[in-house]
Amino acid sequence: MTDSKYFTTNKKGEIFELKAELNNEKKEKRKEAVKKVIAAMTVGKDVSSLFPDVVNCMQTDNLELKKLVYLYLMNYAKSQPDMAIMAVNSFVKDCEDPNPLIRALAVRTMGCIRVDKITEYLCEPLRKCLKDEDPYVRKTAAVCVAKLHDINAQMVEDQGFLDSLRDLIADSNPMVVANAVAALSEISESHPNSNLLDLNPQNINKLLTALNECTEWGQIFILDCLSNYNPKDEREAQSICERVTPRLSHANSAVVLSAVKVLMKFLELLPKESDYYNTLLKKLSPPLVTLLSGEPEVQYVALRNINLIVQKRPEILKQEIKVFFVKYNDPIYVKLEKLDIMIRLASQANIAQVLAELKEYATEVDVDFVRKAVRAIGRCAIKVEQSAERCVSTLLDLIQTKVNYVVQEAIVVIRDIFRKYPNKYESIIATLCENLDSLDEPDARAAMIWIVGEYAERIDNADELLESFLEGFHDESTQVQLTLLTAIVKLFLKKPSETQELVQQVLSLATQDSDNPDLRDRGYIYWRLLSTDPVTAKEVVLSEKPLISEETDLIEPTLLDELICHIGSLASVYHKPPNAFVEGSHGIHRKHLPIQHSRSGATTSVIPSQGDLLGDLLNLDLGPPVNVPQVSSMQMGAVDLLGGGLDSLVGDKILLITTCSTLQSAELVLFFMYLIVVWLPAVKAKGLEICGTFSRRQGHMYMDMTFTNKALQHMSDFAIQFNKNSFGMIPTSPLPIHTPLMPSQTIEVSLPLNTIGPVMKMDPLNNLQVAVKNNIDVFYFSGLIPLNIFFVEDGKMERQVFLATWKDIPTRMNCSTRLRNTVSGKLQSNNIYTIAKRNVEGQDMLYQSLKLTNGIWILAELRIQPGNPNYTVRELPQRLSLSNRGISCFLTFPFALDQGSPTFLNLRATSWVLSHTTGTPFDTLF
Amino acid sequence: MIGGLFIYNHKGEVLISRVYRDDIGRNAVDAFRVNVIHARQQVRSPVTNIARTSFFHVKRSNIWLAAVTKQNVNAAMVFEFLYKMCDVMTAYFSKISEENIKNNFVLIYELLDEILDFGYPQNSESGALKTFITQQGIKSQHHSKDEQSQITSQVTGQIGWRREGIKYRRNELFLDVLESVNLLMSPQGQVLSAHVSGRVVMKSYLSGMPECKFGMNDKIVIDKQQGKGATSDDSAKSGKQSIAIDDCTFHQCVRLSKFDSERSISFIPPDGDYELMRYRTTKDIILPFRVIPLVREVGRTKLEVKVVIKSNFKASLLAQKIEVRIPTPLNTSGVQVICMKGKAKYKASDNAIVWKIKRMAGMKESQISAEIELLPTNEKKKWTRPPISMNFEVPFAPSGLKVRYLKVFESKLNYSDHDVIKWVRYIGRSGIYETRC
């Protein structure tokens, strides 16, 4: 006899019968009856009226029967709270049972009975069970605390269960530790600010030890918890990573993904140049590939996560594109995800293979998949310029198949290709026009209309084509209507003679017969433009369009960073932050990637938005500075200027060296290659990224900046203003950004500068604080101005004056450094003038002068050893004469020009000014 | 965490429903049935969000298993748990079917109570579970106190996958190296991509708590050992035999930190069947067969196809179940085939000529030639020749993997490594093995 019979009893009066059976004298009969009740409960029948009878069966030695009764209790206790009290005694008694399995069962079940009165009775047994001698009971009790917290959080705190739970983190049994961690993690999610888990290095160490020993599930709990920890420095981050990496070989893909999450987060803290950083990156790729050999559901989760990882760190998987090729029997959801990743990894190196694959996919049966494959071909054309031609011909082949949805999808992507490569592939328009009739989707219709309008002058019957769309104007979707309106206006501007009638027709359709305000507005604008000033109309309507970007549908960087913190979880599957799909208190607490504290601040210190600074910087008259008080360079105190500043230099030291070392390998043609730095990272400025440099060209100073919009909305109304600075540097014109900056668009601007602004000593001296405003907010950043942009063209000193000044200055220090031979010409191009040259003891000596914008003269001697063109050891006693103020300062000024790293001069010269007053020799600083 | 777990039959009737969290109501059961099982369209994702409730599902034959949650759970974990749940059920009553589930519903509820607590997966190794949950009802009440604590310490212990006190009269070990070799080759015989994905599957019948150590010709290990003082001669010799493993994953019994530091595979095995490791290699793969296609288009209505297959392994070995599929154009009207060995047939429904050979020794070759008659079509589009695919089974590991040793140590019982009878078997199968033509 089998249990399936319980599912079949389906007669009326069943409840009555069950009631009788439950009260049967024979134990076996009662057990049968309870089974029937559970079966009925499972299929959704209401058997709550049997509550007292079922509870009566609870007093039994038969564990199986007891478990069944408990199952019933958990389901119905809430609907019969008064009756549920009857069960309490039995629970309390079971918690004292000598058998640990029964103790655990009781405490486990009690936690699931969500009746206030019962929870009161639960506290004492739970307290005992948390300290039970048997680990099985303790691990069950740990979870029970989380259950109780869900019912009555206050009680858990009052009873001190949280402390007991914290104690369990140090338990000797790894499974108890894992469950305690899981419970604490869940509880702390509803108290985002309390440091419940108390993650300190000691506890982390305990967790890492338990990690090696507990079950696969326990490892997941611990890894997920570890990912919330912020190591205090890179060393700690590295040591945790080292102990987490073995998990990447676990057969359970959830363990692997959680380990990947920890590593991806802590990678942020590791220095990019370090060997370990690169080893770790290499270690991440094989396990991610292996995840794709799992079952399809896990593959899907893995692919959704890989999609994020590829966007965050493309280098990890860039060699592995082949594993994302679609297999014939992959489920459709795996196919679609693979396709997405293929496009992201497509590059010049692999484009031929990718295209061959995509072509294959475009002939499959699943409509969504085919469409996506066609779209992907277009994306490849836009992303990899070299492949554009092949992509276009592939798309044309596909259009020839005349499969309706393939054609429509192809036309949409071809529009984008036209946008990206204007005037290159127009020859195919004729082929496209053949398919005009088969287009029935708004996207495709709009794309086709756009193409016809854009290239109206090359299509003989453009007017007929557009006219054909006009017939059913009011039945079209808004998108098509708007595109059609614009296309006809374009056509009119290109061929005014033949199309006057047409344009009038469309304008009246749009303005008079339509009730869509957008359409009417656009119609009126065109109408007025055309009637008042056709030349301007032409300029507006036929203006050059901004290029479309290569990468579309990228996840916004701040969201991406948040999702990286949720690798493996539902958020990473949905690509949405948890608060978008989770109700209540859970998940509101947003996670962030850790920030590397020790290093990031140096190049780009984003100025905290302090009130006083705001006032200073933003009397937001961000127009061109007209009435800036003229401060003569004579007045600005050199003492003031040069006082102090050394302390900050020590902090900058490391930075300067690292920036140099990165440049070491670059062979540079120009003498000064200005170092481009990220001044304002996108995460700190709501998606706006500014990087740039200062330069001097034709006697003028410029601030060359690249603005990148990494947000999902457009940005406009840009303005810039400088804080007072040491050299009185101000912009001489407003920020030349006139068009809105579209998402993922980049714009380069060059801002002319002058040194006629107000002077204030900065620390360090060449620090410049900048405010940038746009329609979203005001952002602050600061950067270091390389000193050489202040070297003026008339820095050539009279030879006699030079000699006289030179003699006045005693030699103080010598510094050995190396210099490339043919430098003098290059030096001159940067306004460092060679005054004299002589040969002493087989060495060339160069004497140089230069002058800063504020009138400070700098004199230098370069010693060059001929016959050793690349590495010439030189000594360079250097003097400085601040002649304007009558003050002479002396110090060592090593012009260090290592092979191929001319920035040395730039950087050291910068630092030299800062340190000269203290007379500290440079070799101690570097 | 997991808020509830439901099992449905193919009609969408609930067989098992266990709710762990208060935020999951009874209506969740119906929501899944209506939106997923009874959905008109094919399911597009294994994760479905219905009214802010997320459903994870897997299907086994015609049974649906669904986990429900309202929180941001670890999605990979939920799926891994559902797979594990299937494994456990299979371990108890072999096939997962409606009949078996109904017959064992009390047992399943008991298991669900044990392996998920408040939605957190707990120890789910069937070996351990079977010590106190059985199909014949619960044993534990008959256990002595010692036995009880033994159960609990095992369920929560470091070796949750094995129980104590296992005894066999004959200690035996079966080790299978199962590989599937994948290939994509150009018509000119150039390898476009090739990889092997392999598994080491074991059956162990060992007494006590044996400590095992598994060794194979992993390049890293061999190179390391040679570094310790072997002559260069040796390294040249064994260097050929070692293989480079791209990546591998292990059963949870393997000590991963030890593998990470020493690259040695040591473990206390579960009792019975389990998969010890999975691995992937891409270098120096032995391709058991080479396919040489020759397609000639004779006019517009005729194709001549000649395909030669060469077996590329030791002559003493025999490959089995060889099947070659030669695709034919859609407008094929008739096919004449001549083959030297085996049987070949044109299958119109598959648009392919299927050539089957039962057995073939190494270092041999065989060929097939076919004349394909085509119906004239007005289609401009040329026939894009799909690749020729192949299936086979060979008695060696195409990756070159060799088991070097599998040592068993059991200090407490009186049997040694020599007393254990060990069986090793290599099976190489074709995965996607294609040659373009």
Q: Model pTM? A: 0.70
Angle between helix axes A404-420 and A388-400 (nearest 10 degrees) is: 150
Nearest residue of chain A to residue B45 (CA atoms) = A333
CB-CB under 8 Å, A175 with B157: yes
In one-letter notation, the amino acid at residue A693 is T
Q: Which residues of chain B fall short of a pLDDT of 70?
A: 135-143, 227-240, 378-384
> What confidence score (pLDDT) does residue A11 get?
56
> What confidence score (pLDDT) does residue A537 get?
85
> What confidence score (pLDDT) does residue B222 get?
82
Comparing CB atoms, the residue among B26, B104, B120 nearest residue A143 is B120
DSSP lists the bridge partners of residue A687 as none
Question: Is B61 within 8 Å of chain A by CB?
Answer: no
> What confidence score (pLDDT) does residue A97 get?
87
Q: Smallest CA–CA separation between A253 and chain B, in Å?
A: 7
In 3D space, the residue among B78, B81, B83, B89 whose CA is nearest the CA of residue B129 turns out to be B89
In 3D space, the residue among B364, B358, B370 whose CA is nearest the CA of residue B326 turns out to be B370
The H-or-E segment that residue B183 falls in is: strand B172-185
Question: Is B74 within 8 Å of chain A by CB?
Answer: yes
Give chain B positions within 8 Å (CB) of A114: 22
pLDDT along chain A (926 residues), means of 10: 64 76 83 88 84 82 83 84 81 87 89 83 90 92 93 89 90 92 89 73 89 91 92 90 93 95 93 91 93 93 96 91 86 93 91 88 86 92 89 90 88 90 85 85 91 87 86 87 91 86 89 87 89 85 79 83 93 92 66 65 39 37 38 34 33 29 30 64 81 80 84 82 82 82 82 82 78 83 77 75 67 41 57 70 66 66 50 33 28 31 30 31 29
Give chain A positions within 8 Å (CB) of B153: 134-136
Query: In a 3-state reduction of DSSP, which class is residue B393?
Result: strand
CB-CB under 8 Å, B251 with A139: no
> What confidence score (pLDDT) does residue A914 get?
29
Two structure tokens written together for A838? 């002589």
Give chain A positions within 8 Å (CB) of B58: 295, 297
CB-CB under 8 Å, A135 with B152: yes
The Cα B437–Cα B428 span in angstroms is 25
In the block, which residue shows the tokens 């071909």?
A377
CB-CB under 8 Å, A586 with B72: yes
Residues 320-379 of B with CB under 8 A from A: none
Two structure tokens written together for B329? 């154009």
Among B78, B106, B148, most A C-beta atoms within 10 A, so best to mutate, is: B106
Q: Smallest CA–CA separation between B104 and chain A, in Å?
A: 6
> What confidence score (pLDDT) does residue A560 get?
93
The Cα A401–Cα A312 span in angstroms is 38
Torsion, Cα of A175, A178, A183, A185 (10° steps) = 180
Q: Smallest CA–CA separation between A261 and chain B, in Å?
A: 11
What are B307-355's pLDDT values in tens digits?
Answer: 999 999 999 999 999 999 999 988 889 999 999 899 999 998 888 999 9
In the block, which residue shows the tokens 């290659």?
A673
Interface contacts A/B by beta carbons within 8 Å: 263
Give chain B positions within 8 Å (CB) of A573: 47, 75
The Cα B291–Cα B289 span in angstroms is 6
CB-CB under 8 Å, A75 with B77: no
CB-CB under 8 Å, A147 with B257: no
Comparing CB atoms, the residue among B124, B137, B152 nearest residue A64 is B137
- Encode B300-309: b = buried (16+ Cβ within 10 Å), e = exposed: eeebebebeb
DSSP label of B64: E
Tell me the DSSP string of A216-282: HHHHHHHHHHHTT---SSHHHHHHHHHHHGGGGGBSSHHHHHHHHHHHHHHHTTS-TTSHHHHHHHH
The Cα B330–Cα A895 span in angstroms is 77
Give chain B positions within 8 Å (CB) of A587: 71-72
The Cα A258–Cα A539 span in angstroms is 55
Spatial neighbors of A333 by CB under 8 A, at least 6 apart, are: A296, A300, B44, B45, B46
Q: Smallest CA–CA separation between A442 and chain B, in Å?
A: 24
The Cα A203–Cα A193 span in angstroms is 19
The Cα A877–Cα A271 span in angstroms is 37
Give Cα A901 to chain centroid, integer Å. Answer: 32
CB-CB under 8 Å, A583 with B23: yes
> What confidence score (pLDDT) does residue A898 get?
33
Q: Smallest CA–CA separation between A285 and chain B, in Å?
A: 9
Cβ neighbours around B425 below 10 Å, total? 12
The Cα A381–Cα A400 span in angstroms is 19
CB-CB under 8 Å, A568 with B74: yes
Give chain A positions within 8 Å (CB) of B115: none
Cβ neighbours around A26 below 10 Å, total? 9
The Cα A419–Cα A268 span in angstroms is 37
In the block, which residue shows the tokens 């009052």?
A158
Coarse DSSP helix, strand, coil percentages of chain B, rounded to the nearest 5 percent: 20, 45, 35
Angle between helix axes A296-312 and A557-564 (nearest 10 degrees) is: 130
The Cα A391–Cα A354 span in angstroms is 11
Give chain A positions within 8 Å (CB) of B143: 99
- Encode B203-239: b = buried (16+ Cβ within 10 Å), e = exposed: ebbbbbbbebebbbbbbebbeeebeeeeeeeebeebe
Residues 360-419 of A with CB under 8 A from B: 363, 368, 400-401
What are B280-309's pLDDT values in tens digits?
Answer: 999 889 999 999 999 888 888 888 999 999
CB-CB under 8 Å, B102 with A4: yes
The Cα A47–Cα A589 span in angstroms is 41
Question: Is B17 within 8 Å of chain A by CB?
Answer: yes
Question: Is A290 within 8 Å of chain B by CB?
Answer: yes
DSSP lists the bridge partners of residue B176 as B201, B425
DSSP lists the bridge partners of residue B7 as B16, B65
Residues 405-434 of B with CB under 8 A from A: 432
The Cα A259–Cα A226 span in angstroms is 9
> What confidence score (pLDDT) does residue A9 get?
56
Question: Is A257 within 8 Å of chain B by CB?
Answer: yes
> What confidence score (pLDDT) does residue B236 get?
47
The Cα A57–Cα A152 span in angstroms is 29
